[in-house]
Amino acid sequence: MSHLESSLYLEYLFLSLFSRKEAKKPLSVFHILTGKRTASILYVAESYQLKHFFNCFRHLEKEDYLQKIDSLLKKNQLEEASDNHVYLTPKGEQSVTTFFETHYYPSHFNGLLEGRSLKSFWRLLTFVTQVLSEMSHENVQYLPIEKEWKQQLWLKKWLQMHKKNLSKELLSQRFASEWMDLLALLEPSGATVISLKLTGYKTYGKTTKQISNLLELELDEVQVILTDALFQCIKQIKETNQFPLFFELYQESIHDISLFNQSTLATKKLMDEGKALEEVANSRGLKLSTVSEHLIELAIMDEAYPIKDLIAERTYQQIMGLFELNPTIGYYEIEEQGYQVPFYIYRLLQIERRRVNG
């Protein structure tokens, strides 16, 4: 694999996020990838159908990203439209198809809902794996991969809790069994990368660079494979009853993590109590626009959030009727037709229509 070829992975992955049918703003895509958590970016992520990529590249540098976009424009794989938006060209579409015939494409990303828990879950999972592996061989002379005292203390308590019902041998066996069952459910490349990363008795987890050399893959591709596999792990752990020990680790990893910040949660609590938006804003000393952004965030993050309950029935039916006639109708077009509704209502109904129509 040439150096030039190996440097292209993220370029083609980012290219795949654009569309021939819909112009997208590259800078908005960047904010989605790096997890800029504002109501407008969350809505764009929903609109672009890129919620799953949200916050999956939080360390991506803007300059590096824009250089890749510029390269794609020069290669005629992206084409500029108006207002700093771009389309995917037929050449770009074919390039994406061809490239990912021989490279990994992530299909399990869930960055919006699980992105913030991924790092802490993986950190805890690898630590417990190491300790139980060493414990099963009665080896106490090893250097733990986890240096933080808080994590070490939690693990000691977790082990003590389980020792009430299980011997250390049986606990290690059950944990190893969950690993084997889980790895068997993953895509082979993901199972391979995860296995190579694990540290245990007489086994040292390999670095991403070492795995890159071993598998002859670019560093970024290895990292994407690992990230995608971990999202797949979380999905399996949450949706089945096969992995009770792993589920305990997942619950611990999200213990201090909320989908929403405290301000949004405070707004939700008051709205759930039946307060009107203006009442919430006044009682909290916030601008109406700030509270309305909280509602948009809640609607995007929680697909079961009752949007219809927030809007007067007549307004709901009128604006949804306009969307039926013209799915892309803009806010100002609605105003020109004599309908006076706040912008946040328009935005919420856009989200509702997408829910209803899929």
**pLDDT tens per residue, range 54-94:** 999 999 999 999 999 999 999 999 999 988 999 999 999 99
The reply to whether 106 falls in a domain is no
Which domain-ending residue is among 59, 78, 99?
Answer: 99
For 172-208, the pLDDT digits (tens) are: 999 999 999 999 999 999 999 999 999 999 999 999 9
d(CA 197, CA 191): 10
pLDDT of residue 259: 78
Q: Are residues 86 and 16 in the same domain?
A: yes
For 258-314, the pLDDT digits (tens) are: 778 889 999 999 999 989 999 999 999 999 999 999 999 999 988 888 999 989 999
The reply to whether 104 falls in a domain is no
Which domain-ending residue is among 253, 284, 314?
Answer: 253
* Nearby residues of 263 by Cβ (< 8 Å), 6 or more positions away: 286, 290, 294
Q: Are residues 133 and 215 in the same domain?
A: yes
Q: Are residues 116 and 203 in the same domain?
A: yes
pLDDT of residue 44: 95
- pTM, 2 dp: 0.89
Check if the beta carbon of residue 56 is closer than 8 Å to that of residue 75.
no
Instruction: Annotate 144-164 with three-state secondary structure.
Output: CCCCCHHHHHHHHHHHHHHHC
Q: Are residues 291 and 313 in the same domain?
A: yes
The reply to whether 332 falls in a domain is yes
Which domain-ending residue is among 99, 132, 147?
Answer: 99
Banded pLDDT at 4 (limits 50, 70, 90): very low
Q: Are residues 249 and 270 in the same domain?
A: no
Number of domains in the chain: 3
The reply to whether 312 falls in a domain is yes
For 29-58, the pLDDT digits (tens) are: 999 999 999 989 999 999 999 999 999 999
Q: Are residues 79 and 199 in the same domain?
A: no
Residue 209 has pLDDT above 70, yes or no: yes
pLDDT of residue 358: 63
For 314-345, the pLDDT digits (tens) are: 999 999 999 999 988 999 999 999 999 999 99
pLDDT of residue 1: 37
Q: Are residues 82 and 117 in the same domain?
A: no
pLDDT of residue 255: 85
pLDDT of residue 82: 81
- Domain region containing 177: 112-253
pLDDT of residue 3: 36
Q: Are residues 65 and 120 in the same domain?
A: no
The reply to whether 89 falls in a domain is yes
The reply to whether 107 falls in a domain is no
The reply to whether 196 falls in a domain is yes
The reply to whether 87 falls in a domain is yes
Residue 12 has pLDDT above 70, yes or no: yes
